[in-house]
Amino acid sequence: MFKSAVFDLKHAEKEQVKEFLNSFDTVLSDCDGVLWIDNNAIPGSADTMNYFRKIGKRVFFVTNNSTKIRSDFALKAQQLGFIADENEILSTSYLVAHYLKSIGFKKKVYLIGSNGIGDELNAVGIKHVGVGPDHVKPDFKSLKPTDLDSEVGAVVVGFDEHVSYPKFMKAASYLASEDCLFVATNTDERFPKSSSIVVPGSGTLVRAVETCSERKALVLGKPHEYIRKYLESCGLNPARTLMIGDRCNTDIEFGVRCGFQTLLVLTGVTSTRDLEKIRKEQIAPLPDVVLPKLGDLLEIVKS
């Protein structure tokens, strides 16, 4: 009943909501725009996530954000009222470290990114260089082969507020070697908008490095399927998994690609108007179910 069109759960009967709740065992939720916005919890989200846990669901927090380590994400979630353990946090900073460790990577990473990724790499014993400013010199093309680190065997690109031309030159120079791995956290175009200022996201940097290296990155974050493979190794059944998100082109696309059920909430990036546009123009996959906010689910159950 939930697969053929977008089902507005807000107007569902209590029995339909119960049937929906019985249709999955695992809940994956995006964070920003679903559970919280910046440092403010979205009303009702914590109670609903904690309720999922109470009725026996496994819960994971899935975020494309690469600027924090898992324990910091878990702490933030706990401070905002969510029951959360760091093992339930699937951030792209962690996925980068997990991926490189899983393939037995022993060399050094050239990192266009932040300490979030750097600290996760440290935790699995992988060395890295590149975090922090790398200023443009008067002669912007003045990079020499001796400026490159011969131990580097992978370029990782995530969010980096210190991104600069020398960083692009180094990344592309390392990637000129076919043996050098190319891994990216995510390809989000922008940060969620809170004013008229556009804040470019990691995708901006990934596309720049792809362009100058003439290579394609292995992208680990949503909507790519690496997370499903990771979770299948923890016993996840895709057909009985619900993905909750606020963006059709990352969260819902990810859920659809992985064979999960999908729930869109309208507290973040995708608005009611966007959803109508997506429905008409078919520019992104539609969710199975929609709710104005996650907390509405618990209100219906308890009504």
Taking the least distance from each CB to Mg ion, the nearer of 33 and 201 is: 33
Contact with Mg ion (CB under 5 A) among 32, 119, 188, 253: 32
Contact with Mg ion (CB under 5 A) among 7, 33, 90, 159: 33
- Look at strands 261-265 and 241-245 and give their pairing: parallel
Span of 153-161, 203-211, 243-251, 276-284 interacting with Mg ion by CB under 5 A:
243-251
| Angle CA 152–67–35, to nearest 5 | 145
In eight-state DSSP terms, residue 248 is I
Catalytic residue among 8, 25, 30, 149: 30
Taking the least distance from each CB to Mg ion, the nearer of 130 and 268 is: 268
CB of 35 to Mg ion, least distance (A): 9
Q: Residue 188, interface with Mg ion (CB under 5 A)?
A: no
Taking the least distance from each CB to Mg ion, the nearer of 173 and 267 is: 267
- 30 assigned ligand-binding residue: yes
In eight-state DSSP terms, residue 6 is -
* Shortest-Cβ-distance residue relative to Mg ion: 33
Q: Residue 30, interface with Mg ion (CB under 5 A)?
A: yes
β-partners of residue 32 are: 36
Q: Residue 246, interface with Mg ion (CB under 5 A)?
A: yes
d(CA 284, CA 296): 24
β-partners of residue 36 are: 32, 41
User: Is residue 288 flagged as an active site residue?
Assistant: no
Specify whether the CB–CB gap between 21 and 261 falls below 8 A.
Answer: no
Residue 278 host element (H or E): helix 272-281
CB of 158 to Mg ion, least distance (A): 16
State the alpha helices, DSSP H only, in 55-146: 70-79, 92-102, 115-123
- 32 assigned ligand-binding residue: yes
d(CA 195, CA 266): 17
Span of 18-26, 92-100, 267-275, 279-287 interacting with Mg ion by CB under 5 A:
267-275
Span of 137-145, 159-167, 238-246, 282-290 interacting with Mg ion by CB under 5 A:
238-246
CB of 30 to Mg ion, least distance (A): 4
Taking the least distance from each CB to Mg ion, the nearer of 45 and 213 is: 45
d(CA 258, CA 49): 21
DSSP string of 177-188, one letter each residue? STTSEEEES---
93-152 positions binding Mg ion, by CB under 5 A: none
User: Is residue 30 flagged as an active site residue?
Assistant: yes
Give me the numbers of helices (H) and strands (E) for the chain, helices first please: 11, 14
d(CA 208, CA 166): 13
184 residue type, one letter? A
Catalytic residue among 32, 134, 160, 251: 32
d(CA 252, CA 248): 5
Taking the least distance from each CB to Mg ion, the nearer of 34 and 236 is: 34
CB of 147 to Mg ion, least distance (A): 38
- 134 assigned ligand-binding residue: no
Binding-site ranges for Mg ion (CB under 5 A): 30, 32-33, 246, 268
Which residues are documented as binding site for substrate?
222
Which residues are documented as binding site?
30, 32, 222, 246
Please identify every residue annotated as catalytic.
30, 32
